[in-house]
């Protein structure tokens, strides 16, 4: 992406974020900013050779605020952050449960019975 394209995307990002600030309730906008801050940290970490994932703590209220519409707005914003955009995956729940499901899925793909002894 050349400098002109970068500046245009940055302008679109800023304009869309300003529009969202005027349309969203303050709690939803605050949640959006916290997620974007986490994404920024991941981008900085990635360019420094560090981890690329982020973990933004969500309260029960945050989970209620993170509607499909807010998710679409976040996806639109993140698509402006890089030449190919970013892939956004939002997972709620217990990390141990997520890890268990991932290990079981790997076991199944490997031909193993994850429930067997």
Could you read off the pLDDT of 52-68 as tens digits, one per residue?
Answer: 566 778 888 988 999 98
Residue 20 lies in a domain: yes
Residue 98 lies in a domain: no
**Which helix (H) or strand (E) covers residue 100, if one does?**
helix 95-109
Unique residue bearing structure tokens 């955009």 = 85
Question: pTM for the whole thing?
Answer: 0.67
Residue 111 lies in a domain: no
Residue 97 lies in a domain: no
∠ CA 34-32-42, nearest 5°, is 50
Burial class (CB in 10 A: 0-12, 13-18, 19+), 54: middle
Number of domains in the chain: 1
Residue 38 lies in a domain: yes
Residue 68 lies in a domain: yes
For 93: left if phi > 0, alpha if psi spans -120 to 50, otherwise beta; the answer is left
Provide mean pLDDT across the span 89-102.
Answer: 62
């Amino acid at each position: 992406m050349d400098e002109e394209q970068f500046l245009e995307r940055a302008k679109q990002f800023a304009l869309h974020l300003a529009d969202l600030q005027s349309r969203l309730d303050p709690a939803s906008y605050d949640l959006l900013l916290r997620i974007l801050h986490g994404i920024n940290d991941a981008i900085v970490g990635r360019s420094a050779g560090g981890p690329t994932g982020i973990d933004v703590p969500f309260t029960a209220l945050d989970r209620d605020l993170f509607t499909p519409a807010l998710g679409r707005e976040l996806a639109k914003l993140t698509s402006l952050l890089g030449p190919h955009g970013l892939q956004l995956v939002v997972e709620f729940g217990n990390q141990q449960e997520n890890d268990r499901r991932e290990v079981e899925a790997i076991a199944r793909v490997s031909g193993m019975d994850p429930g067997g002894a």
